[in-house]
């Protein structure tokens, strides 16, 4: 099947469920506050619910205490979530069950390609193990087929979607994405599996997150479609960069937010998002800033992918 699939916009009456899904690899920093705040404001401005999901599926990259510290910071900034926090570490049975179903449907297959071989491919997997299945005793990863699917399944070659911040996107599945890892060779479930399974389980309708995930959105939409589910609406925020142009992230030791300056942090994050709180709110508490921001939230004020620096 060829062509571009454009997702129709969801009906205006559809209820809104958004989420913030941090990985606990370090404390909340300015970049993750921007993501939390934007996803919160977009949900609340649409009378929606805002959930928090802890993506603690990758212990080697996690920092002890980071999950609690992130939740404490959200609370201190007045970003109160609806319902219980969902911890991915408690859902491995659900991920395994989904993987088993995909294997039975012929949509998932084992791969034992070496790290070296994958590196030489430079990004997108070439489907080698579809034709050369690994011997059963070797350590294997599991991959999801995104093209040349078994009988009864179909995906377009290119996924088209309208990002509510970045505009119209088209992402190829075979060349740009390639078959995706569902379970790693070390036994951990992959982000690409858990994120879609959980967005479906939690009924997420809108995903506002950092632009570092824009490039993987097409393959995630494809996964929703394979599972027979409508894809949510996506919006990707510009990334907060350090003055040297590097992404502000936990991996490169972005400084933790100072919780005693929560209102100032929110003020800066609102500016970063192009929202323009009036100066007389400059010394307000978090609650007042947030209620102004919900009432005045404008997606169109967010500038695109550009090189936005954290304001001083
Ligand atoms: N846990 C991912 C991260 O912190 C985000 C996942 C998502 O929003 O889809 O980068
Ligand atoms: Zn392989």
Average pLDDT over residues 270-297: 96
Considering only 2-11, 28-37, 49-58, 199-208, which range has the smallest mean pLDDT? Answer: 2-11
Mutate to test the pocket of ligand 1, among 180, 213, 240, 250 (most ligand atoms within 8 A of CB): 213
| 3-class secondary-structure state, position 264 | helix
State residue 211 phi and psi, 5-degree precision.
-65, -10
In a domain, residue 164? The reply is yes
Residue 254 among known ligand-binding residues: no
| HEC sequence for 16-42 | CEEEECCCCCCCCEHHHHHHHHHHHHH
Q: Which residues are 256's β-sheet partners?
A: 29
Q: Which CATH number does the domain housing residue 29 bear?
A: 3.40.50.620
C-alpha closest to that of 42 among 160, 161, 162, 165: 165
How are beta strands 49-54 and 17-20 bridged, if at all? parallel
Ligand 1 nearest-atom number relative to CA 25: 4
Inside any domain, residue 1: no
Residues with CB under 5 A from ligand 2 (ion): 111, 113, 128-129
What is the position in ligand 1's atom list of the atom closest to the CA of 32? Answer: 4
- The answer to whether residue 9 sits within a structural domain is no
User: Ligand 1: does its nearest atom lie under 6 Å from the Cβ of 268?
Assistant: no
More confident site: 238 or 5? 238
Residue 5: per-residue pLDDT: 54
Tell me, using a 6 A CB cutoff, whether residue 195 lines ligand 1. Answer: yes
Binding site annotation covers 282? Answer: no
Query: Does some domain include residue 10?
Result: no
The pair of structure tokens assigned to 34 is 């921007």
- The domain tally of the chain equals 1
3 belongs to a structural domain: no
Q: Tell me the three state secondary structure of residue 60.
A: helix
pLDDT digits (tens, 9 = 90+) for 16-46: 999 999 999 999 999 999 999 999 999 999 9
Of all ligands present, the nearest one to the C-alpha of 121 is 2
Q: What is the mean pLDDT of residues 146-167?
A: 96
Has 157 been labeled as part of a binding site?
A: no
* CA-CA-CA-CA dihedral for 26, 272, 19, 94, to nearest 10: -40
- pLDDT one-digit tens code per residue, 177-231: 999 999 999 999 999 999 999 999 999 999 999 999 999 999 999 999 999 999 9
Range of the domain at 254: 16-309
In a domain, 293, yes or no: yes
User: For residue 35, which atom of ligand 1 is closest to its CA?
Assistant: 8
Q: Evaluate whether residue 133 is within a structural domain.
A: yes
């Amino acid at each position: 099947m060829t062509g571009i699939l454009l997702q129709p916009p969801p009906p205006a009456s559809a209820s809104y469920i958004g989420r913030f899904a941090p990985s606990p690899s370090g404390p909340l920093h300015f970049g993750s506050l921007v993501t939390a705040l934007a996803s919160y404001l977009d949900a609340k401005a649409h009378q929606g619910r805002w959930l928090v999901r802890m993506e603690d599926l990758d212990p080697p990259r996690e920092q002890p205490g980071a999950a609690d510290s992130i939740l404490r910071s959200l609370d201190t900034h007045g970003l109160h979530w609806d319902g219980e926090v969902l911890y991915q570490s408690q859902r491995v049975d659900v991920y395994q069950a989904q993987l088993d179903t995909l294997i039975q449907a012929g949509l998932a297959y084992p791969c034992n390609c070496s790290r070296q071989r994958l590196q030489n491919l430079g990004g997108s997997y070439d489907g080698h193990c579809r034709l050369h299945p690994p011997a059963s005793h070797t350590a294997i990863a599991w991959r999801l087929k995104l093209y040349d699917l078994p009988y009864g399944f179909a995906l377009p070659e290119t996924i088209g979607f309208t990002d509510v911040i970045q505009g119209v996107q088209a992402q190829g599945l075979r060349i740009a994405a390639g078959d995706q890892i569902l379970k790693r060779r070390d036994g951990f479930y992959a982000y690409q599996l858990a994120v879609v399974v959980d967005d479906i389980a939690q009924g997420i309708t809108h995903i506002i997150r950092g632009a570092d995930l824009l490039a993987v959105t097409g393959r995630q939409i494809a996964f929703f479609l394979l599972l027979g589910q409508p894809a949510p609406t996506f919006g990707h925020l510009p990334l907060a960069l350090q003055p040297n142009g590097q992404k502000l992230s936990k991996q490169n030791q972005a400084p933790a937010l100072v919780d005693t300056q929560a209102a100032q942090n929110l003020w800066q994050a609102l500016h970063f998002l192009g929202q323009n709180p009036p100066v007389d709110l400059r010394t307000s508490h978090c609650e007042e800033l947030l209620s102004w921001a919900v009432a005045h939230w404008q997606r169109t004020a967010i500038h695109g992918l550009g090189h936005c620096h954290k304001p001083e």
